[in-house]
A and B are shown apart, each in its own frame.
Chain A
Amino acid sequence: MSLELFGTWLAALLTLCIFSFLYKDNPFYKFAEHLFVGVSAGYWLCYNYWNMVKPNLIDNLEAHNWEYLLPLILSAFMLMRLIPKVGWLSRWAIAFMIGSGAGLMIITYLQSNFLEQIKSTLVSLDPTGLPWYVVLNSFLIFVGVVSGLVYFFFSKAHTGVTGGVARVGVVFLMVCFGASFGYTVMARISLLIGRMYFLLHDWLGLV
Chain B
Amino acid sequence: MMRRQVPLLICFVAGIVMLSQNFIPPLTWVYQQALEWARIISAIALFIGLISLVRVHTMKLKRKAANYRYSYVTLFALCYMIIAGFLTKYGLFVKLHAGCDTGSAWEWIVTALEKALNFQEIFLNVQIPIQATMFSLLAFYIASAAFRAFKARTFEATLLLIAAMIVMLGRVPLGQMIPGVKEITVWILDVPNTAAKRGIMIGVGLGMASTSLKIMLGIERTYLGMKD
Chain B residue with Cβ nearest A133:
B187
Bound-complex Cα distance A92 to B224 (A): 9
Residues of A123-163 at the interface with B, using a CB-CB cut-off of 8 Å, are 137, 140-149, 151-152
Residues of A within 8 A of B162 (CB): 178
Q: Convert B176-206 into 0s and 1s, putting 1 for each residue whose CB lies closer than 8 angstroms to a CB of A.
A: 0000000000011111111111111111111
Interchain pairs with CB closer than 8 A, number: 387
Q: Does B226 contact A (CB under 8 A)?
A: no
Chain B residue with Cβ nearest A138:
B191
Bound-complex Cα distance A138 to B93 (A): 62
Q: Convert B1-38 into 0s and 1s, putting 1 for each residue whose CB lies closer than 8 angstroms to a CB of A.
A: 01100111011111111110010000000000110111
Q: Are A99 and B209 in contact (CB under 8 A)?
A: no
Q: Does B104 contact A (CB under 8 A)?
A: no
Q: Are A103 and B135 in contact (CB under 8 A)?
A: no
Contacts A71-B37, A95-B223 given; indicate if A175 touches B163 (C-beta within 8 A). Answer: yes
From B37, B48, B75, B215, residue with most partner A Cβ within 10 Å: B37
Q: Are A78 and B45 in contact (CB under 8 A)?
A: yes
B214 → chain A, closest Cβ, in Å? Answer: 9
Residues of B within 8 A of A149 (CB): 199, 202-203
Residues of B32-81 at the interface with A, using a CB-CB cut-off of 8 Å, are 33-34, 36-53, 67, 70-71, 73-81
Residues of A87-110 at the interface with B, using a CB-CB cut-off of 8 Å, are 88, 91-107, 109-110
B89 → chain A, closest Cβ, in Å? Answer: 6
B45 → chain A, closest Cβ, in Å? Answer: 5
Chain B residue with Cβ nearest A112:
B205
Q: Does B101 contact A (CB under 8 A)?
A: no
B166 → chain A, closest Cβ, in Å? Answer: 7
Bound-complex Cα distance A26 to B14 (A): 49
Give how many A residues have a beta carbon under 8 Å from the other chain's beta carbons: 113
Q: Are A88 and B3 in contact (CB under 8 A)?
A: yes
Contacts A113-B201, A145-B199 given; indicate if A178 touches B89 (C-beta within 8 A). Answer: no
- In the complex, which range does the number of interface residues on chain B fall in? 35 or more
B218 → chain A, closest Cβ, in Å? Answer: 10
Q: Are B85 and A109 in contact (CB under 8 A)?
A: no
Contacts A43-B81, A107-B22 given; indicate if A102 touches B121 (C-beta within 8 A). Answer: no
Contacts A36-B131, A182-B163 given; indicate if A105 touches B212 (C-beta within 8 A). Answer: yes
Bound-complex Cα distance A53 to B198 (A): 38
Residues of A within 8 A of B94 (CB): none
B192 → chain A, closest Cβ, in Å? Answer: 4
Contacts A3-B115, A92-B6, A102-B212 given; indicate if A21 touches B42 (C-beta within 8 A). Answer: no
A177 → chain B, closest Cβ, in Å? Answer: 6
Q: Does B174 contact A (CB under 8 A)?
A: no
Q: Are B188 and A175 in contact (CB under 8 A)?
A: yes
Q: Which 10 A-B pairs have the closest CB atoms?
A: A144-B195, A42-B81, A113-B205, A38-B77, A148-B199, A178-B163, A46-B85, A103-B18, A182-B167, A99-B14
List residues of chain B with CB under 8 Å of any chain A CB.
2-3, 6-8, 10-19, 22, 33-34, 36-53, 67, 70-71, 73-82, 84-86, 89, 115, 118-119, 121-140, 142-143, 146, 156-157, 159-168, 171-172, 187-206, 208-209, 211-213, 215-216, 223-225, 228
Could you give 27 example pairs across A and B, Cβ below 8 Å?
A7-B124, A7-B125, A18-B130, A36-B131, A38-B78, A39-B78, A39-B130, A42-B81, A43-B81, A46-B86, A46-B89, A52-B39, A71-B40, A94-B224, A100-B15, A100-B17, A105-B208, A113-B201, A137-B190, A145-B202, A149-B202, A173-B196, A176-B200, A178-B161, A178-B164, A192-B139, A195-B133
List residues of chain A with CB under 8 Å of any chain B CB.
3, 7-8, 10-12, 14-15, 18-19, 21-22, 30-50, 52-53, 56-57, 67-68, 70-72, 74-75, 78-79, 81-82, 88, 91-107, 109-110, 112-114, 117-118, 120-121, 137, 140-149, 151-152, 169-186, 188-189, 191-192, 194-195, 198
